[in-house]
Structure 1
Amino acid sequence: MTEPETLIPKHGGYRNLKSFQIAQLVYDVTVRFCDRYIDRRSRTHDQMVQAARSGVQNIAEGSQDSGTSKKMEMKLTNVARGSLEELRLDYEDYLRQRGLPQWPPNHPVLMRFKAKRCSTLEEVRAWVAEEVRRARTNTDEQGQSSEASASVSVGVGPSGPLYTPTLVANAALSLLNIACYLLDRQLAAQAAAFEQEGGFTERLYRVRSARRNKP
């Protein structure tokens, strides 16, 4: 026997969404990245932080609003997706404008980052430190890392054999690619559910009809 439909279904479980968890990590990484590598007085600093925050907040708000408005849930999820796309472009611009490499998904350094499955800022920082140590350990007599010699896309910079902003920006882009992919799937699922079940108005009609017809 199926349970009767409720007017306001369960909603607001955004903390369990993988898209929210990754977007929140991106936000934490972006705040630290901007504070360290971008002038705090610049518009870019504020825009990147606000775009990262918008991604997190709109996923949460959309999930919370889904109880009474599927249309609002889709709208806010799409706003989150747009904010993270804006942030992705900002990271790409940062690398391009400074002549730093944007690594392909199968780059060895990024593959190690993905294998870590970092879920906190501290775990990302530990990975960065590990990669810097790895590069320094592999430094040859000419002062170039063997990894950098094998692939110019590693990125040599003023802070050591492996330029830390290159590491962090590429890691953030990797996380953003996952978050955007998940949000695209989330939007598709929300649209399909809305087409099949309708929104709050349709649910209100069904619940009232069921109550009137109840013997």
Structure 2
Amino acid sequence: MPTPKPFLPHGGSYKNLLVYQKSECIYDVTYYFAHKYLEKGDRTIDQMVQAARSGKQNIAEGAAAGNTSKETEIKLTNVAKASLQELLVDYEDYIRVRGLEQWQPDDPRLAQAKRACATHNDSAYYRKAITQRSDETIANIAITLIHQTDWMLNKLIEKLEIKFVESGGMREQMTKARKDYRGY
């Protein structure tokens, strides 16, 4: 009899995923923002921080679960998307109710933020930069990061769906490995 071959994929670390790195930036920006600009005792602090955390954690958990369940990976990646959408609405609400300006597509500040956010995936960059910015600027940077991360999550979900269709689920891989081992 031949020696059985492992059938579980060997995935890379979630920390190497750009989308995870972006979500970590969002978490760090949000933690700073919520504790600096929202009044102590405001439930929104916990809501925003938890939404940012959920976005980040579900990417990590989904990537880890992906070795045995593409379905779980897709679901958790969608949970990450939903959490970040919730956070997006909190930032938009903050800007609106305080009479601040949400940067529009033709605003040069938005173009600059898009370039900076597309270039920097290291949360240390944002932790340093935001201490010198206003609440309006930080909120707009966070919104930009969330939009970019949402786009990346959409692409990741598409990739996971294709991989599932091509490779099947865990049970199919187990059956194939068993048949290969038996020589069928």
1:124 Cα offset (Å): 2.8
Normalising by structure 1, we get a TM-score of 0.77
Distance 1:165-1:11 versus aligned 2 partners, 3 A rule? same
Aligned partner of 2:150 in structure 1 is 180
Aligned to 2:135: 165
SS of equivalent residue, structure 1 residue 40: coil
Q: CA deviation at 1:42?
A: 1.5
Q: CA separation in 2, counterparts of 1:197 and 1:125?
A: 40
Query: What is the CA distance between 1:40 and its match in structure 2?
Result: 3.0
CA distance in 2, matches of 1:106, 1:211: 60
Aligned to 1:91: 91
Q: How does 1:72-91 map to 2 (within 5 A)?
A: 72-91=72-91
Cα displacement (A) at 1:109: 1.7
Matched, 1:34 2:34: yes
By how many angstroms is 1:129 displaced?
6.6
- Amino acid in the other structure paired with 2:23: A
Matches of 1:121 and 1:15 in 2, distance apart? 12
Cα distance change, pair 7–121 in 1 and its aligned pair in 2 (3 A): closer
- Tell me, in whole angstroms, the C-alpha distance in 2 between the residues paired with 1:67 and 1:129: 39
Equivalent in the alignment of 1:152: none
Gap regions ≥5 residues in structure 2: none
Partner of 1:115: 115
User: Where does residue 183 of structure 2 map in the other structure?
Assistant: 213
Is the Cα contact below 8 Å between 1:105 and 1:174 reproduced in 2?
Answer: no
Q: Paired residue for 2:126? A: 124
Deviations 1:27-68 (A, max 9, x none): 000000000001231211100000000001000000001111
Deviation of 1:176 (Å): 0.3
Q: Residues 62 and 74 of structure 1 are in contact (CA less than 8 Å); yes or no, is this contact kept in structure 2?
A: yes
Answer whether contact 2:69 2:169 (CA < 8 A) is retained. Answer: yes
The alignment of Structure 1 onto Structure 2 pairs a total of residues equal to: 179
Going from structure 1 to structure 2, the CA distance change for 1:196 and 1:120 (only over 3 Å counts) comes to closer
* 2:47 is equivalent to residue 47 of structure 1: yes
Of residues 12-21 and 102-111 in structure 1, the stretch that sits farther from structure 2 once superposed is 102-111
User: Aligned AA for 2:66?
Assistant: S
Task: Confirm or deny that 1:191 pairs with 2:161.
Answer: yes
Aligned AA (1:32): Y
What TM-score results when the alignment is normalised by the length of structure 2? 0.89
* Structure 2 CA distance for aligned equivalents of residues 64 and 180 of structure 1: 20
Q: Matched residues, percent identical?
A: 40
Counterpart CA distance in 1 for 2:5 and 2:163 is 15
Change in CA separation of 1:92 and 1:206 when aligned onto 2, cut-off 3 Å: same
SS at match of 2:8: coil
Q: What is the Cα deviation at residue 191 of structure 1?
A: 1.1
| Mapping of residues 137-176 of structure 1, within 5 Å | 164-176=134-146
SS at match of 1:111: helix
Greater gyration radius: 1
Point out where structure 1 has 5 or more consecutive residues left out of the alignment: 133-163
Please state how far the C-alpha of 1:126 moved relative to its aligned partner. Answer: 4.9
Higher RCO (C-alpha under 8 Å, 6+ residues apart): 2
Instruction: Say if 2:64 is the partner of 1:64.
Output: yes
The structure that is helix-richer by fraction is: 2
